[in-house]
Structure 1
Amino acid sequence: MRGVERDRDDAAEQGTVVTPSAEFPPLGAEERAALGRLGARWHGPRRADDLPVDPTLGRRDHHPRPTRFGRLTPIDLFTVAQPDELVATGPAHLPGDRSGRVLGRLRRTLVGPPLASSSVLYERMRKLVALPVLSSDLLSSVAYGPEAMLAVLVLAGGTALGLALPLAALLVVLMIAVGLSYRQTIPAYPHGAGSYLVAGDNLGRTPGLAAAAGLMLDYVLTVSVSVAAGVHAVTSALPGLTRWTVPFGVLVIVVLLAGNLRGVRTAGNIFVLPTYAFVVVVLAVLAVGYAKAAGRGFTPVPPPAVPAAEGLGLLLVLRAFSSGAVSMTGIEAVSNAVPAFRPTEWRNARTTLGWMVAMLVTLFAGLVGLIHLDGLAPRADETVLSQLGRVTFPTGPWYPILQATTALILLLAANTAFNDFPRLLFFMARDGHAPRRFLHMGDRLAFSNGLVALALAAGVVFVAFGGHTERLIPLYAVGVFLAFTLSQTGMVVHWRRRRGRGWRRRLALNAVGATLSGLVLLTAAVAKFTEGAWVVVVAVPLLVLLFRRIHRHYSSLHRALALHPPPPHAPPGPAGSAEGEELPQQVRHLVVVPVARLNRASLRALAYAASLGRPTLAVHIAPEEAEADRFREQWRAWGDHLRLETIVSPYRSVIGPLAHYLEALHTARPELTLTVIVPEVVLRRRRHRLLHSRAEQRLRAALRPLPGVVVTSVPVHVSH
């Protein structure tokens, strides 16, 4: 994590790492100095330009020539960019890997051809594309947020539904306050204003990790809830499909994954039309519905008589309020995805967020008011929005259009999570709190590993809860409002420390957002604790602990691998441990060649070992004395060119005695580097591997944990 005193230039530098180069961070100043000191003490072979092969592959005078199959020869996969640098002309499959080529073609069909790293500057979104991509989660929540609130109120009977209007008014105030808070967070963190970064920079590492844990749970639940609500919208119109809820939902998650693996711009183009169509259709419902209500003088239709299952109390009202607050999930999406916008990134992001909040308030308040005027109540067999559509459009094609667009945006609303979850993992991996594989950009410049992780987690949650929206909603609000609260509290600290122009007004606005978000957080955690919110309450600290353990591992790894040269005037003698060598003059070799039988493979390995010009020892494991005598006789017939040590293993084990013998050698001389050269037969056909013991792989696995042991193989290729 960056320190709390990081200035704007540091923030800009941090934001520029959202490129494929982020996997390869540069050395710090101390390590660069150490590298220079080590280089000055290097007494090994110097750079030689008279190599036995031209490293440029003769590209300066070479013209591409295809093979008879129409493919470029291996030499044509590279072009010269500048001295000592080649550029690969395209992604290459592994040599001789036929199955890899087949899988590569299938992958190209699903996700498209790979993009060059330089295209990352163009894989960004303009505002009209970013709005539907990043707001699909936020806007789609109006399809189930009002219903979630009403579903709690109706437990106290039909008369309690009248409380929906004041609760909706409070929620609108909350939406505006949080929206304005994030609008000023974006320019303060113009290269990524996610809750993880803001809370971590201003409140410390643990609050930042807690915000990240809350957001991660929110993103997983966003996918699960959105898909579940979308499937419910489909089954409301087509009840016969209800029994296919779970398979249909899993299929949708797979389709979303495939679409996002194709890249930001492609995914944006896919999801533009459904979002805008949903907004237009819902606005049409509101216009026609309020026009009908005006015709009867805005007199509300009495709601149906519903018997009370619970008493109307403060706890039930708080539960209803926190359930309605799920309509705000996704409001932080823009601040997390600032680097995905076209320049000027923060300005375009802030404008997009303003549009999103305005649309959310309009749709949410309009739907709650119209539901109240039409006297609708939640039903188990049909969504409230579907009922509203039937009342507003009793005839004509508008009701099917409403259901179709609702189902589409709900199913595609998970795209917001697919956009932000991998980016959050990227920032966490950059700081060492998540596996570094999440730094990797895939073929289409998308964070493929993060996308796959999200799809798997959401699929498991969706299947575990049977695709029921009402079972998932109680888990939903705690994580996201934890992130809201920590982010806005972090901004309060930010303004107090920076004290720039207008800082008091900005601080007050973020303080209001933090306070309201904190109240919703406490309400949701307490009111819905027994309904499932306890899962999130328990999961957040466990995730924080996991993130800290990952960071501890990477910190230990960095300390172990960091460059720490000896003092400038230290003697260049051997190091105390074979793994402490950083200079050629410190390395002391012993080459060990395990030999099972004298054949072409073992003789080639022995020849290779002897060519290195280092002390070489051959080792043979025999199951009994008689076989050991026979092998020594064959060794003398060969000429006894190298020292042979024979080990009798009366229990017929080979790998174990050899590994223990090498460990004993290293214990006797810990400054030695044992280079184990293993002869390996490479078979052309995979099915033939079943006919061999694969002892080379087992030996390599057994020796890998031993310190000071280097394992290499000398392959002999079998052509049939």
Structure 2
Amino acid sequence: MGAAAKGGDEAERGTVVTPSAEFPPLGREERAALGRIGERWREPRRPDDLPVDPTLGRSGRPPQPTRFGRLAPIEMFTVEEPDELVASGPAHLPGSRAGRLLSRARRALFGPPISSASVLYERMRKLVALPVLSSDLLSSVAYGPEAMLGVLVLAGGSALGLSLPLAGLLVVLMIAVGVSYRQTIPAYPHGAGSYIVAGDNLGPTAGLAAAAGLMLDYVLTVSVSVAAGVGAVTSALPGLAPLTVPLGVLVIAVLLAGNLRGVRTAGNLFVLPTYAFVVAVLALLVVGYARAAGRGFAPVSPPPVPAAEGLGLLLVLRAFSSGAVSMTGIEAVSNAVPAFRPTEWRNARTTLGWMVAMLVTLFAGLVGLIHLAGLVPRPGETLLSQLGRVTFPTGPWYVLLQATTALILLLAANTAFNDFPRLLFFMARDGHAPRRFLHMGDRLAFSNGLVALSLAAGLIFVAFRGTTASLIPLYAVGVFLAFTLSQAGMVVHWRRRRGRGWRRRLAVNAVGATLSGLVLLTAAVSKFAEGAWVVVVAVPLLVLLFRRIHRHYATLNEALALHPPATAPGPAGSAEGEELPQEVRHLVVVPVARLNRASLRALAYAASLGQPTLAVHIAPEEVEADRFREQWQAWGDHLRLETIVSPYRAVIGPLAHYLEALRSTRPELTLTVIVPEVVLRRRWHRPLHSRAEQRLRAALRALPGVVVTSVPVHLAE
């Protein structure tokens, strides 16, 4: 591994992505505090003095399964270590028949769960990673040249000649940014996303801004790719045009299902379409240039097009920034370095080199061939479709070209499905995104991130009715913001490191940052009124949201962090600061509506705890209160009873306020509220009951020092 890949902050920030990331280890200070707390812990019962065998009979015959044994048998556990049980399969929760059917359908659709130990085998080799991570980048050549020419043609047919110099500038930009990211990968071998690079070198705000730009780019990647793919289908089959929106939503759903099956499975699904598209376009270029050579490369005169705007600098800049959308996805490999097989950074860098070479070849070749063929953008048919008809006037080749184009455009969104959840993972690890995005699903995929991306992309696709031209103006700003911040961050990185060859590396990244910044400014200014303002406004709002999330988690971490007993947080005399069993002072409270089997069982459970116990009854009027006290006396008056008359017939509110009043008089008390609860076996029975215990639990959740537990009574039917 190169020197740039060996040290520093990257190794600390870029931990390997595994399912254990949800459970970060304790820091040194917390471990020391844990030991000091343990020294003062006094447990009245020894760990081995339990009424059941916690080993589930490892040394003898296992116990009989419960009545849910058909769903969750005890035998699902195996022994791996002397003091450890291992679940031999995924546990099915006890539930209804509908729940079991849903579980079986999910397994059939997404496949059986994968063990956490298989995370390494779910990574991709280069030949699989290339189509998976390049589908967005390579597919953009199907609409990038058209986006550029669609702006130039506004100045008339004579302005189309500027497509060649603009394409040359874009090729320079592609190579500069591609080489810049090739340097970034070994410098950040555990994931070189713009969020991490900008955050490490330019500060947290820059990192969050890069993350916001990337998130918008990934969402728009799905929307634009699906819109362009459906557009390719409707170009060949115009009768399907009215079904554009339903077809697009269906494609997003299929992509979600495919990616929920896991990285390796999704990669295998998308290998063939990407390679088929590359072969089809290369065949188009070979045949097209061979025919152009036959006429001495003389360009065909384009049809006359009236000018709708004057040819000025602003229009040229708009055309340049529109063509720059062909570069979206060039950062995908650097974001997904941990998804490669070892040696990760070397395989990722090689794959990126292949991608950039293929992008330059396809983009430059298509722009040149479109110029030689004299084609102009027109509604109802894409430029690639026109070029295919001219190049392959007979035979099945045009159909194959359109089919592969539609497939790769529809599947190009898979790049975003790989990188968006991974970006959310790194942000959640740092506390800037909800922690649910740390979780790996049954198939070792970031399921929550995949679902979030699908929902956001689907909403945008429906809102813009699947129109590619309406989505393109929103596209370039976010991704080039991430490009610029990432490359500027690498400039700072090389200045700090000053290793061997640092000046050359700094210069390369500086060129990439400068060119990307120019495209960013051009896109933001020239396309502001066309829709780019949405991204310009959305980025700071997202940064503000990320900061608020981080502030919440910082407060949570401070509240939950381990402290020595002498410095434990919480006001003096408050039950919130208790960490030692001898400091806990109990009062058990049992709300009793009527004396029946459920309430008597709750009272018996409370009394068995051996703690001070209080029963509370809420009566709507004095007559009922007197009646209940008589029943209590008949029972034997074994526990202290407090009766509260609620003349307005409210139950939850008076009870919650009463418990809060008890807490205010003795803040050091821990109130354990034991609620009798009838457990219903059938869902349709639920509307027949008030479910007061659930409303009480929700009302008491906000009270500090209050623990709510339930004593269930199960109905037989």
TM-score normalised over the length of structure 1: 0.97
CA drift at 1:17: 3.9
Q: Hey, what's the Cα distance between the residues in 2 that align with 1:17 and 1:593?
A: 49
Answering whether residue 595 of structure 2 is matched by residue 598 of structure 1, we say yes
Aligned twin of 1:147: 146
State the secondary structure of the residue aligned to 1:57.
coil
Q: CA deviation at 1:44?
A: 3.0
Could you tell me which residue of structure 1 aligns to residue 630 of structure 2? 633
Q: Secondary structure of the residue that 1:123 maps to in structure 2?
A: coil
Q: Following TM superposition, by how much is the alpha carbon of 1:381 offset from its aligned partner in structure 2, in angstroms?
A: 1.1
The residue number in structure 2 matching 1:535 is 534
The structural deviation recorded for 1:196 is: 0.2
Q: Deviations over 1:315-337 (max 9, x none)?
A: 00000000000000000000000
Matched, 1:586 2:603: no
8 Å Cα contact 2:428/2:437 also seen in 1: yes
Q: Would you say the 8 A contact 1:168–1:368 is kept in 2?
A: yes
Q: 1:404: which partner in 2?
A: 403
For residue 618 of structure 1, the aligned residue among 597, 615, 620 is 615
1:548-575 CA-to-partner distances (Å, cap 9, x unmatched) read 000000000111111122339x9xx995
Matches within 5 A, 1:137-536: 137-536=136-535
What do the CA deviations read for 1:84-125 (whole angstroms, capped 9, x no partner)?
311111111112443321111111111110000001010000
Aligned partner of residue 86 in structure 1, secondary structure? strand
Distance 2:698 2:39 in 1: 36
Asked if the contact 1:575/1:581 (under 8 Å) is kept, the reply is no
1:23-43 deviation digits (Å, cap 9, x = unpaired): 111111111111111111112
**Partner in structure 2 of residue 133 of structure 1:** 132
Q: Which runs of 4+ in 1 moved over 4 A?
A: 62-73
Name the CA distance, whole Å, in 1 between partners of 2:284 and 2:310. Answer: 34
Q: Amino acid of the residue matched to residue 262 of structure 1?
A: R
| Structure 2 CA distance for aligned equivalents of residues 6 and 637 of structure 1 | 80
Q: Distance in 2 between matches of 1:10 and 1:166?
A: 42
In structure 2, distance between residues paired with 1:564 and 1:66: 42
What amino acid does structure 1 have at the position aligned with 2:630?
E
Aligned mates of 2:337, 2:293 — CA distance in 1? 42
Give the letter aligned to residue 617 of structure 1: L
- Whether the aligned pair in 2 keeps the contact of 1:65 and 1:72 (CA below 8 Å) is no
3-state SS in 2 of match to 1:42:
coil
Query: Identity over aligned residues, as a percent?
Result: 87
Structure 2 distance, partners of 1:655, 1:387, is: 70
TM-align CA RMSD:
1.9
| 1:654 counterpart = 2:651 | yes
- Judged with a 3 Å threshold, the aligned counterparts in structure 2 of structure 1 residues 55 and 221 are, in CA distance, closer, same or farther, namely same
Q: How many residues align?
A: 713
Give the Å deviation of 1:63.
7.8
Q: 1:414 to 1:65 in 2, by over 3 A?
A: farther
Moved more, 674-683 or 166-175: 674-683
Pairing partner for 1:706 from 703, 708, 711:
703
Q: Deviations over 1:126-167 (max 9, x none)?
A: 000000000000000000000000000000000000000000
How far, CA to CA, are the matches of 1:173 and 1:310 in structure 2?
Answer: 28
Q: Is the 8 A contact 1:56 1:80 kept in 2?
A: no
| 2:46 alignment partner in structure 1 | 47
Q: Partner of 2:83 in structure 1?
A: 84
2:21 is the counterpart of 1:22: yes
* Structure 1, 579-588 or 149-158: larger mean CA deviation: 579-588
Matching residue's letter, 2:537? V
The C-alpha deviation readout for 1:319-358, integer Å capped at 9, x for no partner, is 0000000000000000000000000000000000000000
Give the 3-state SS of the residue equivalent to 1:121 in structure 2. coil
Question: Aligned-pair distance for 1:74?
Answer: 1.6
Asked whether 1:119 is paired with 2:103, we answer no
- Give the whole-Å Cα distance in 1 for the aligned partners of 2:304 and 2:109: 52
Alignment pair present for 1:685 and 2:682? yes
DSSP-derived class of the 2:615 partner = strand
Change (3 A) 1:59 1:566: closer
Alignment match, 2:692:
695
8 A Cα contact 2:72 2:91, kept in partner: no
Preserved contact between residue 66 and residue 72 of structure 1 (Cα < 8 Å): no
Question: Which range moved further: 498-507 or 45-54?
Answer: 45-54
How far apart, in 2, do the equivalents of 1:131 and 1:159 lie?
39
Structure 1 residues 480, 615: CA separation in 2 closer, same or farther (over 3 Å shift)?
A: same
| Matched residue SS, 2:119 | helix
Say if 1:195 and 1:211, in contact at 8 Å, map to a contact too. yes
Deviations 1:602-655 (A, max 9, x none): 111001000111000000001111111111111111111100000011111111
Aligned-residue offset at 1:15: 3.4
CA contact (8 A) 1:574 1:585 kept: no
Which residue of 671, 675, 678 corresponds with 1:674?
671
The equivalent residue for 1:57 is: 56
Q: Structure 1 CA distance, aligned partners of 2:49 and 2:68?
A: 35
Amino acid at match of 2:593: A
Deviation of the 1:545 alpha carbon = 0.3
Contact 1:44 1:583 in 2 (8 A): no
C-alpha spacing 1:47/1:65, structure 2 compared with 1 (3 Å): closer
Matched residues in 2 for 1:396 and 1:666: separation? Answer: 84
One-letter identity of the residue aligned with 1:180: V
Shift in Å, 1:82: 1.3
Using the alignment, how far apart are the partners of 2:154 and 2:639 within structure 1?
A: 88
Question: Hey, what's the Cα distance between the residues in 2 that align with 1:557 and 1:95?
Answer: 32
Distance 1:6 1:21 in 2: 24
CA distance in 1, matches of 2:361, 2:571: 75
The CA distance in 2 between the partners of 1:100 and 1:202, in whole Å, is 49
Distance verdict in 2 for CA 1:550–1:516, change over 3 Å = same
**Preserved CA contact (<8 Å) 1:574 1:587:** no
* 8 Å Cα contact 2:253-2:454 kept in structure 1: yes
Query: Partner of 1:221: helix, strand, or coil?
Result: helix
SS at match of 1:310: coil
Paired position in structure 2 for 1:642: 639
Could you tell me which runs of 5 or more consecutive residues in structure 2 were left unpaired when the two chains were aligned. Answer: none
Instruction: Measure the CA separation in 2 of the matches of 1:689 and 1:69.
Output: 21
Paired residues of 2:220 and 2:475 also in contact (CA < 8 A): yes
SS of structure 2 residue aligned to 1:59? coil
Structure-2 separation of matches of 1:69 and 1:652: 40
Structure 2 Cα separation of the partners of residues 628 and 563 of structure 1: 47
Residues 195, 483 of structure 1: 8 Å contact kept? yes
- What secondary structure is seen at the aligned counterpart in 2 of 1:657? helix
Distance of 1:468 and 1:567 partners within structure 2:
64
The AA in structure 2 aligned to 1:717 is: H
Q: Which runs of 5+ in 1 are unaligned?
A: none
